Chain A
Amino acid sequence: SQTIHQWPATLVQPVGSPLSLECTVEGTSNPNLYWYRQAAGRGLQLLFYSVGIGQISSEVPQNLSASRPQDRQFILSSKKLLLSDSGFYLCAQGQGVGNSPLHFGNGTRLTVT
Chain B
Amino acid sequence: AQSVSQHNHHVILSEAASLELGCNYSYGGTVNLFWYVQYPGQHLQLLLKYFSGDPLVKGIKGFEAEFIKSKFSFNLRKPSVQWSDTAEYFCATTPPRGSYIPTFGRGTSLIVHP
Q: Is the CB of A90 within 8 A of B100?
A: no
Q: Is the CB of B102 within 8 A of A43?
A: no
Q: Indicate whether B90 reaches chain A with its CB closer than 8 angstroms.
A: yes
The answer for the CA separation of A90 and B104 in the assembled complex, in Å, is 13
Q: Is the CB of B34 within 8 A of A43?
A: no
**26 A-B pairs with C-beta separation under 8 A:** A34-B101, A41-B9, A41-B106, A41-B107, A42-B106, A43-B6, A43-B90, A43-B104, A43-B106, A44-B90, A44-B104, A46-B101, A51-B99, A90-B43, A94-B100, A96-B100, A97-B100, A98-B51, A98-B94, A98-B95, A98-B97, A99-B32, A101-B46, A102-B36, A102-B102, A106-B43
Count of B residues near A, CB < 8 Å? 26
The answer for the CA separation of A45 and B42 in the assembled complex, in Å, is 19
Write out, one digit per residue, whether chain A residues 58-97 have a CB within 8 A of any chain B CB (1) or not (0). 0100000000000000000000000000000010101011
**Quick one: closest B residue to A97, CB to CB?**
B100
Write out, one digit per residue, whether chain A residues 27-48 have a CB within 8 A of any chain B CB (1) or not (0). 0000010101000011110100
- Most chain A beta-carbon contacts within 10 A, residue among B42, B49, B101: B101
- State how many angstroms separate the Cβ of A28 from the closest Cβ of chain B: 15
Write out, one digit per residue, whether chain A residues 99-113 have a CB within 8 A of any chain B CB (1) or not (0). 111101111000000
Q: Is the CB of B100 within 8 A of A43?
A: no
**Quick one: closest B residue to A99, CB to CB?**
B51
